[in-house]
Chain A
Amino acid sequence: MSLDADLLQTLLTEAIGAGDYADAFFERKVTRSFRFQEGRIHEAGVSVTLGIGIRVLRGEQAGYAYSDDLSPEALRKTARIASLIARNGGGGAHAVALPRQPLAAASVYTSDSAELRPGSGTYVDLLSRADAAARAFDPRIASVNAFISDELQEVAVATSEGRYVTDCRPLVTLGVQCVARGLVRGNGYVGDGGRTSLDYYLKRTPEDLAQEAARIACINAEAVEAPAGEMAVVVGSGGGGVLLHEAVGHGLEGDFNRQGTSLYSGRIGERVASELVTIYDDGDLVGERGSVAIDDEGTPGQHKVLVEHGVLQGYMQDHLNASLMGMASTGSGRRQSFRVAPQPRMCNTYMPAGESTVEEIIGSVQRGIYAKSFAGGQVDITKGDFVFMVAEGYLIEEGKVTAPIRGATLVGNGPDIMTRVVAVGNDPHLANRHYTCGKGGQYVPVGVGMPTVKIAGVTVGGSAVG
């Protein structure tokens, strides 16, 4: 998708005024979705997002305006509103020059569907197969919901520095949620997909996902109440990566560090975690949900070392915060849509392999819990306090995984917990691709990953005291 370079050039020239920088973000996103519920295709949806956002930066100040009306008159008005913040004071007009044609970003997506053609028939078939497989898994399965979403987002970014680039990002997601009847009603959810085509579901079949969701629902239907109090926690490989995302990742986003409101502000080069802890954030992993060939400011997605052997190495930066801190953007400027300005965000956050085997890790715990996967989490960036909701969890008693538990949350403090990582497994995995991260009201797809990790002493919130 390309726009008229002359028009963009005019808009940016009008917008920048006495500012330091201006950019325009064009987006056209079409999402097609189907939802399966109670044994039938319940509804279909098409969502279209089309518009341009224009931003002007001046020092720490940001002006922003957007328009879904793409006429030159409406866009010029949008540029003028965005520039209000840079109207006063000195500084001359900048002449903005853009290349005549945009540069297409090198893809980090696998986007061609050879066999499973996008279209209503394919979506309906995949969902029906998921439903049948979940119901066939166990007679205790009482209800099955499933959805599929197939999205294509075309973006173009033009900046006052002469950058003009485009990207075309696919994103597919298939999710299955089951409720099983047992001792209690148990819930199980599994979703997977990525920045890839529907052909992904030839190998990762709807049956796989449905059976996994049904299995978790059946386990949770027989789960006992989670214990409460401080104990050792073994975090499962893959989905355990939510822990990195919440406990450390958000605190390393550039905006909080530039403003000095993160507990990691000014601490590059310092020891912030156990020496077993290394954390990366990659924007360029092929097909992963959080990957971006270019971010929403046109900077290529890239590999970033956040923490290495416990020492803080760097932050995730967008243009604004990087320039104010005298650093380079790390391709982390992302946004939910053209209606909002970009923020520094995570892409795919993960920990590489350690040396312990899973058996050694579980075997070393006398009493604790095994948090195999999380339903989500939240963090207070300033203080570092976090909470994680366990989706699939078990008791560990005398070195063995025993009864499933329900309703467990882990609560603690990010920097504190990272110093208590006492073992890292040799089984790193990226989690199923279904995570979405919210920050300041903006939601973007992300990836997480981790090996099995043991943390000595985490507060587990449950209702069974003792």
Chain B
Amino acid sequence: MGEAEDIALAASAVQLAVEAGAHEAEATYVVAERFATEARDREIAKLEQSTARTLTLRVFVDHAKSTLTTSDFSPEGLRAFVGEVVDAARYVTPDPLAGLPDEAAPPDAARADRLEIYFGDVRERDAQAKIDDARLMEADIRAYDARITNSSGSRVSDTLATLALANSRGFRGAFRSSTVARSSSPVAQDGVSKRVGSYGSASRSYAALEPAAQVARAAARRAIEMCGARKPATMRVPVIFERDVAAMVLSDIFASLNAGNVAVGNSFLIDKIGAKIGSDLVTIVDDGRLPQGLGTSPFDAEGTPTRRTVVFEEGVLKTYLYDTYYARKLGARTTANAAGGGIGPNNFFLAPGDLTLEELIAATPRGVLVLDTIGFSTESVTGTYSRGARGIMIENGERAYPIEEFTIAGNLATMLAAVDAVADDLHFDSTVASPSFRVAEMTVSGN
């Protein structure tokens, strides 16, 4: 189906909801063609290909909200569930703030052409070329070092999607997007134990995606560089977050900028607008219009045109990130961060500095380079941050030896204030991205 048909389907769902008694309704219809393959050693291990269709319908009855998500497109199934979700809204407490965006987006807001989020090379690349890429990565990781004797697979995947949005205030919009990814997970034999290294990269087009050989090399390096790791002593030292781990820290910060969390008291940034939280090096941006960005779209999940929002400027908190509801609630304007029924990042990133990562390491007499963390619970309420980690001990400005089985702990506010160096290695290979950065001092707990 084309975009016009998809918009028509979304509009018909809106119509069904209004007929069932909804005062306002908004439907999002997504059709995604997905391809994924995985190789292990010389064989193709997985070959998957499907088209997924999903309809998400938000209805408001007297400002009471209810949401249907469905893959049942039979006429009777659709009618029955739309009826049910409108009925369910009658049990929700009416909230005058709940409803569609007030401002009708200008018609050209739906245009996606300058955003460069759809590339024809994704449809054109044939399955065999993708399978060959996956096999190549499997061969390359084994060729990198004799200790790499196994893997959890190398993968290539892509998605071509069309999103159509219609609402009862007359908004109609649709856009196409493409996403491609390559990743590899080699396993190195390190004495009696094994180590997995993982690296992946994503982009909007095959042309811009990191080449298979480069992905394989990065993954293999991650497995090998941790061989012989030991547990460090407990200490307080500078900690450098390598860019993928740095992006995970940014995700935690995003959670506390999410106006939905701010509104319910679940954020360490409550009442901090205008306050100097981070060091001068901390400039954090959410940009929904970054060309080729994986979080780029012409409009957000509510049809609000996307924009560029500076969230932290040289350490000063400028704004939270909002959808329509929480903007009304907190007396702000939406920043076009509506996503998946809540608030999500567009392209959310820390502005890069001008040092290379190697220069940053050389400028660190003694410290820890964190390459990977495990664990995912940050106390947003207090900003308490604690993770299991592994990485490299830095001595005399050089990578001295790999370390593991330690934790790093601190507080997100304190960490932002202590960012004293930012590298230049920002890559937009995820919706949340960050260059590597250094925190002046953190607790590293080991022996």
Contact = CB atoms under 8 A, between A and B. Distances in A.
A185 B91 contact: no
B384 A407 contact: yes
Contact of B390 (A50, A385, A412, A464): A385
A463 B409 contact: yes
Contacts of B127: 84
Contact of A68 (B52, B406, B446): B52
Nearest to B233: A229
Interface string B210-234: 0000000000000000000001001
A266 B44 CA distance: 24
Contact of A462 (B51, B266, B390, B409): B409
B123 to A, nearest CB: 16
B358 interface: no
Contact of B447 (A50, A179, A230): A230
A384 B190 CA distance: 13
A198 interface: no
A42 B93 contact: yes
B116 interface: no
Interface string B415-447: 000000000000000000000000000010111
A463 B411 contact: yes
A78 B50 contact: yes
Nearest to B78: A48
B47 A85 contact: yes
Interface in B246-287: 263-266
Contacts of A200: none
B374 A378 contact: yes
Interface string B67-86: 11111111001000100110
A375 B70 CA distance: 30
B43 A121 contact: no
B81 A64 contact: no
Contacts of A40: 93, 95
Given A185-B265, A341-B48, A387-B388, A465 B405 contact: no
A50 B70 CA distance: 8
B46 A62 contact: yes
Contacts of A400: none
Nearest to B89: A44
Interface in A204-263: 226, 228-230, 256, 259-261, 263
A261 B50 contact: no
Given A382-B194, A463-B410, A44 B91 contact: yes
Contacts of B52: 66, 68, 339
Q: Number of contact residues on B: which range applies?
A: 35 or more
B66 interface: yes
A226 B410 CA distance: 11
Interface stretch (A3-11, A31-39, A307-315): A31-39
B334 interface: no
A378 B405 contact: no
Nearest to B44: A61
Contact of A43 (B40, B44, B66): B66
B73 to A, nearest CB: 7
A37 B187 contact: no
A84 B47 contact: yes
Contact of B265 (A45, A64, A142): A142
A411 B70 contact: no
Interface in B85-107: 85, 87-93, 95
A387 B374 contact: yes
Nearest to A78: B50
B152 A259 contact: yes
Given A60-B40, A66-B50, A51 B71 contact: yes
A184 B73 CA distance: 49
B143 interface: no
A154 to B, nearest CB: 12
Contacts of A260: 150
B48 A64 contact: yes
Contacts of A187: 266, 379, 381
Contact of A461 (B40, B265, B382, B386): B386
B271 to A, nearest CB: 12
Interface string A388-403: 1100000000000000
Nearest to A65: B50
Contact of A184 (B40, B53, B193, B382): B382
A461 B445 contact: yes
A460 to B, nearest CB: 7
B376 A378 contact: yes
A377 B81 CA distance: 36
Given A37-B264, A185-B382, A263 B234 contact: no
A44 B407 CA distance: 40
A145 B380 CA distance: 15
Contact of A81 (B50, B386, B445): B50
A50 B386 contact: no
Interface in B389-407: 390, 404-407
B67 A61 contact: no
Contacts of A20: none
Contacts of B23: none
6 contacts: A84-B47, A256-B152, A376-B375, A385-B374, A387-B375, A409-B375
A-B pairs, top 7 by smallest CB distance, nearest first, are: A461-B407, A387-B388, A40-B93, A389-B377, A228-B445, A44-B88, A387-B375
Given A44-B88, A378-B375, 12 more contacts: A42-B65, A42-B92, A68-B53, A124-B91, A228-B443, A261-B152, A381-B196, A389-B375, A407-B385, A411-B374, A460-B407, A465-B236
